Amino acid sequence: MMIPYQNLYIYQISGEVLNSKSFFKEDFIGCWNEGEISFLFFSNPHDEEVKALVDQKGLSLLSKNVLEYKAWQAGEELKPFKVGNLVICPPWENGVAEEGEILVYLDPCVVFGTGYHPTT
């Protein structure tokens, strides 16, 4: 299996972005709102579309960052690990489940991270 996308394109916006899925169609991964700041995530650059949104909504683009997908995990190499009888595996690894175990492919994407945080 392969990494879902090579890079993450992250746009930091001053202001809350709502209904982002209706505005962005292609390569849009999601929006994270934190207080008065919004982060838009894409698998390809969308400078013109983000500028149009910012202009239309009266918001401000604070920054644009490009990260390799794997770097989003803070440099931690993600490998399969076990929780009870579950084997949690990123989609680019070949996971192996032994008898009585269940193999679960989980794309950490921009939400789950490494999978080691207690909330995950």
Q: How far apart are CA 52 and CA 66, in angstroms?
A: 20
Within the chain, all domains assigned CATH 3.30.70 are found at 7-71
Q: How far apart are CA 97 and CA 87, in angstroms?
A: 6
In this prediction, residue 1 carries a pLDDT of 45
Q: How far apart are CA 100 and CA 102, in angstroms?
A: 7
Q: Find the mean pLDDT for residues 93-99.
A: 89
- Inform me whether the pLDDT recorded for 82 exceeds 80: yes
In this prediction, residue 118 carries a pLDDT of 57
Confidence of residue 114 (pLDDT cuts 50, 70, 90): low
CATH topology of domain 7-71: Alpha-Beta Plaits (3.30.70)
Q: What is the pLDDT of residues 15-72, one digit of tens each?
A: 988 878 777 877 888 888 888 999 998 989 999 999 999 999 999 999 999 988 766 6
